[in-house]
Chains A and B, each alone.
Chain A
């Protein structure tokens, strides 16, 4: 039986191996085109899937990243001592000697100043009768501790105690004004305070001196936890799918396919552009002009790139209708600097006593103004992200392997996110709020010039130069200033034809 089966099987195999069912030319053509279109569809969705995955991953990573970074600026600390009517034997005044010693210290801390600062010392004195209450907006625990330590070292603990017992703890502002040096102090105070803590002086605590010394500005700088609300989840769905539906890639059956169904060809572009961003301000008032100047001073150059994938809808001739998905990221450094000062006027026992020729302490009276000069600097990238659907009409002319093309179109936003800071009048800034940079759905009009080279039947490489004009006012802040943005981009890409 086995032998028989073997023989019969062999016979069947032999017959089957030579068995053919001839297909007509038309049938072959129809099957072949169905195969091509099925393959194209698979490849298309593979590309779209890969591109979508990359975009989603990118959006996810961007969402995870902190919206900006805060850089604390360098800070210098100086203590300026001002007295009136310096005694003739100034050098013998222990307190001033002490101060000079401090200035001679190279260590830039509260207890030490640079040498060159010594020249800035002017001694002012007020009389004992004028002593009053000294306003002390900043707690100067550190300074006091330092002073006490030094005083103990110079005079011994008892002297220090005596000094504090004998010394009025406060001097009135009136008394200081009458002394004649307050004008200068006030001028200095006003100037620096406005520069440094304009936002803080109105009923806000200025913070402790040690906090300032440690460079802790966290309670002063508007934080950017909430820049622009919660980013909208990235939706790739509706507009893209609507566009893709135009492909009409239904299941092909060979019985439905004829040569007339296969005219035209499709392609997918993958591209990357680097953009040169130019902005133009239009100020409608003096306020707007100040803001314009502020942007010039506090913002750096733009950096921008965009990347995306596009595919074409079948059109006759050399024209193609393209649609796709594009991601663009535009960044600009926001570099805001302000200088300022924290003042600590305190009753300084060293300045008020000196040892006379008989070796006794003599009351001189006076005040010490400790000014801590600071520089705050906020450096944060202003980031604008867009996910768009560009729709273009492209005309492409081919000659051998060379291709030249021109495309015109628009782009609509499906997602945008902004983070960073914006200037407000009064030399201030704030973080982005919902509505700033609001581009809504319409993004830009664009024109591109393409030059391509056909590498194989399927693959082409192309370079592209484009001009994109963003529509409307970019700075929808309700202030008297408008900003328009245009982009010149140079890019490259590959085109996969099907």
Chain B
């Protein structure tokens, strides 16, 4: 199996087999990214299809430096496409809700999280909160970028992020208490 750099070079040379191999090796992970945004599997697959067209187009100019850089770049493309998909299907409506005040949470993160369940609980959040949380926390977009991608203004996005964190924090607290 060719390493990423070699594979990317073959893709740049126009080899279709290399494209297919690249797709096979990365699609599960990208499907994971898509499904962090889109709950329905069929929707996530449609999103993936659009995202890979952009990925293959972008790969021609992509300068590989590390796996993290490659997957970070792909994650961003898939996440952007997922947001577009959601917007296209009007699955959520963005509203400027009042910014709610944060409550004081626990002072530190529990030593052991129930990691397997983290994303499951993330998926239980309201869709707009989930999107902002994903984009900000996991994909690393700034609030300004999130505004550009989603149309949610920065203040609202901060609010959504706060609420998402608060919900997740409550869930973690419950888990920790149960554990205690």
Contact = CB atoms under 8 A, between A and B. Distances in A.
Interface string A185-204: 00000000000000000000
Centre residue among A14, A22, A28, A39 by max chain B CB count within 10 A = A28
A217 to B, nearest CB: 60
A17 B140 CA distance: 12
Interface in A235-261: 252-255
Contacts of A20: 28-29, 31-32
Contacts of B16: 457-458
Contacts of A456: 13-14
Centre residue among B34, B115, B134 by max chain A CB count within 10 A = B115
B118 A255 contact: no
Interface stretch (B42-50, B91-99, B142-150, B151-159): B42-50
Contacts of A494: none
B4 interface: no
B149 to A, nearest CB: 17
Nearest to B71: A17
A23 B122 contact: no
A4 B105 contact: yes
B35 interface: yes
Given A8-B109, A20-B29, A254-B42, A35 B119 contact: no
A11 B14 contact: no
A23 B31 contact: yes
A42 B108 contact: no
Given A16-B36, A28-B27, A38-B53, A8 B115 contact: no
Nearest to A458: B14
A155 interface: no
Given A21-B35, A254-B49, A12 B138 contact: yes
B177 interface: no
Contact of A8 (B33, B50, B172): B172
A12 B121 CA distance: 11
Nearest to B68: A17
A74 B137 CA distance: 86
Contact of B14 (A8, A12, A22, A457): A457
B106 A9 contact: no
B45 to A, nearest CB: 4
A32 B169 contact: no
A11 B137 CA distance: 10
A34 interface: yes
Contacts of A14: 115
Given A13-B137, A21-B35, A32 B20 contact: yes
Contacts of B59: none
Nearest to B49: A34
Given A255-B42, A456-B14, A35 B32 contact: no
A61 interface: no
B104 interface: yes
Interface of A: 1, 3-5, 7-9, 11-17, 19-23, 27-28, 30-32, 34-35, 38-39, 42, 252-255, 456-459
Interface of B: 13-16, 20, 23-24, 27-29, 31-36, 41-42, 44-46, 48-50, 52-53, 56, 71, 102, 104-109, 113, 115, 118-119, 122, 133-134, 137-138, 165, 168-169, 172
Given A1-B107, A28-B27, A459-B14, 10 more contacts: A8-B172, A11-B115, A15-B115, A16-B119, A20-B31, A23-B45, A38-B49, A456-B13, A458-B14, A458-B16
